[in-house]
Chain A
Amino acid sequence: MELKKLSWLLRALLVLAGLALAMRLRLDLYDLRVVVSNLRNDPYEASLYQRSFVSSILLCLAHLAPFPALIAAWGLFRQVGLGRGFYQEKRLRVLAMLSGLETVLLAASDAMMLSFRTDRLGGGFLWGLPRMLDGTMLLYLGLTLGCAAMTAAVLALSRSAGRAAALADENALTI
């Protein structure tokens, strides 16, 4: 009973995360539209906090990439308490792969944002670094690092699930 409740709660969390991501994606698409219209009017008028065309596209992709991961996690959370180690290992591996992809996309968009800011500030990368690391930049750097840590955690979990499945098979054979 408790495990069933846990499974439902985790899936509710996934729905909420999906809604938040959809909201974020809508904002990103709006930003992309602004960037495109700015490029058409005056490419040099943009301020430090505006995004380049490439980093806007990368951010859109980065916010689109977690959706397959959410679907995979939904399947995983449905299995809470069912004890199917083999399926859990496979799903966890898919999740780790998707999370890795998200990390790469976020890292690429961070690099683009930093290079965009370097061009705007001038005076070299190192001297401009403290001014470049504003709230938005720190948030995205934190997200990238968080995603990397999450990928490592999910990979470790998939290995644990694999070992648990192997042990369960061995026990079944022994009995």
Chain B
Amino acid sequence: MDNKPLTRSLRALAALGAAFWLYLVADNTYHFVLALRGQAWPASYGVFGRSTATESLILLALVAAAPILWDMWALAGQCGGRFDGSAAGRLRRMGRCGGADTVLLALLVWTMLYERADRVDQAMSVLQRLVYRLDIYVMEMLALALAAAIITAVLFTLSRLAERAAVEQAVNDLTI
């Protein structure tokens, strides 16, 4: 079966993801250096500011996602091919990276919420303070953490399916 267009489209997506990843790494490294120099966002951005811990967690989460792009490129090349077990291995490795990303993003959300706790008006009620702390940046990271968790589960399920397909194919080959 000819799956070249699919391979090419998936590889284009992986390349685009890599370009975007590089841009995010460059942008966040710049902010990290600013934070190290003490010129971080808190001074000028008020409640939306980020600490050095937040900047480091963002960078770590980005680094943890890098192998996923590499494996996605390799997996795209296997489109339409036989299941030989390597696809399952790749999917499992992607799942592990997704899991690490989920943990880092969850830590990031917790750190951001913790940072905002000091900056909100203490006279507000607990509910008001929570709503104030859940601004667009925290919500974005929360959504990303949830998406990472679901994608991790999808990748592990796919890896189990690929493993089963590889075993079935091997049994069929033996029978023939």
The size bracket of the interface on A is 20 to 34
* B1-45 contact mask (Cβ, 8 Å, vs A): 1 or 0: 101011011101100110110010001000000000000000000
Grouping DSSP codes into helix (H, G, I), strand (E, B) and loop, the B interface class, with mixed when no group exceeds half, is helix
* A155-175 contact mask (Cβ, 8 Å, vs B): 1 or 0: 111011001000000000000
Say whether A16 faces chain B, with CB atoms less than 8 Å apart: yes
- Residues of A1-47 at the interface with B, using a CB-CB cut-off of 8 Å, are 2-3, 5-6, 9-10, 12-13, 16-17, 19-20, 23, 27
Say whether B153 faces chain A, with CB atoms less than 8 Å apart: yes
A160 to B4, CA, bound (A): 11
Most chain B Cβ neighbours within 10 Å, of A9, A12, A146, A159: A9
Q: How many residues of B contact A (CB 8 A)?
A: 30
- Chain A residues within an 8 Å CB radius of B9: 149-150, 152-153, 156
Say whether A142 faces chain B, with CB atoms less than 8 Å apart: yes
By the criterion CB–CB under 8 Å, are A145 and B150 in contact?
no
Say whether B146 faces chain A, with CB atoms less than 8 Å apart: yes
- Chain B residues within an 8 Å CB radius of A20: 143
Say whether A71 faces chain B, with CB atoms less than 8 Å apart: no
By the criterion CB–CB under 8 Å, are B16 and A142 in contact?
yes
Q: Which of A10, A27, A138, A150 contacts B154, CB < 8 Å?
A: A10
Q: Which of A2, A5, A152, A155 contacts B12, CB < 8 Å?
A: A152
- Residues of B117-174 at the interface with A, using a CB-CB cut-off of 8 Å, are 136, 139, 143, 146-147, 150-151, 153-154, 157-158, 160-161, 164
Given contacts A135-B27, A152-B9, A156-B6, contact A163 B151 (CB under 8 A): no
By the criterion CB–CB under 8 Å, are A9 and B13 in contact?
no
A155 to B27, CA, bound (A): 34
